[in-house]
Amino acid sequence: MGRVTVRRKTTRLASGERTSRIDTLVVEEPLELRVAGDSLQVTMRTPGDDFDLAAGFLLSEGVITKPADIVSMRYCAGVDADGEQTYNLLDIALAANVAPPIKAAKRNFTVTSACGVCGKDSLEDVRTKAIWDLSEDATTVDPEVLADLPARLRKSQKIFDKTGGLHAAALFTADGELLTAKEDVGRHNAVDKVVGWALQQGRLPLRGTVLAVSGRASFELVQKAVMAGIPVLASVSAPSSLAADLADESGLTLAGFVRGDTMNLYTHDGRVA
């Protein structure tokens, strides 16, 4: 597997003093996803949990709904200038009864680590029909449990401690039990890794869970939570207007600015009891 951090010489300026030091940077590399040899997407990501990332991406796009929809995933041949395997090309074989991704869903250019929905033909293409009805999920979360999740998410960020340059997403039970946590340079990738892990563990739909994310709550993160059947999404920062609209329409509880003992509940606040 590729490296997740690299060391780089830097010059530090502080209080008028100039010193040399070695800094640790998080790795950002392209990952090309292919379905039956046909290129689907190139995303910039931090290497690691690539199979989870691919599975989560396909679920959020509405291509797959269960583990059996994926027959196999394998890295294709690819080497760097030193002749080492890059692990940057992943080919996925879908079950015979699974329709391949339609042309409208394909990214025809590189997706940056900052944006997971760039390249969509239109906003309507993003509004993938969800399989599970979140309005039927009677999950409730204690406000104190919800307020504590960002701090627990931060404690799970091992690579962030070394680099300071990563987003994270973590899945908790409604009682605050940590199920899994993932890191990536892209917010959307971190969530895909969480959702893909849950998919391959046979845990979907993720009723009775809370997804906690670093950074803001964008439309794409709400969409991924809805597609996975997650009833509550908590963010340390603000949601976008479109994220709040989708959460409201989909029955998802959206909490923003979850910091210390305060938070804003934008949609379906009855779950925070």
Give catalytic residues, as residue numbers.
115
* 181: Cβ contacts below 8 Å, ≥ 6 apart: 153, 156, 157, 168, 169, 170, 171, 194
Helices 50-60 and 219-227, axial angle in degrees (round to 10): 90
Give dist(CA 271, CA 132) in Å, integer. Answer: 17
| Number of residues that this document lists for the chain | 273
Report phi then psi at 90, rounded to 5.
-120, 125
Residue 107 and residue 40 in contact, taking contact as beta carbons nearer than 8 Å: yes
Report phi then psi at 211, rounded to 5.
-100, 120
DSSP state of 181: E
Sheet holding 167-173, edge to edge: 178-184, 167-173, 209-213, 232-235, 253-259, 262-267
In three-state secondary structure terms, 107 is coil
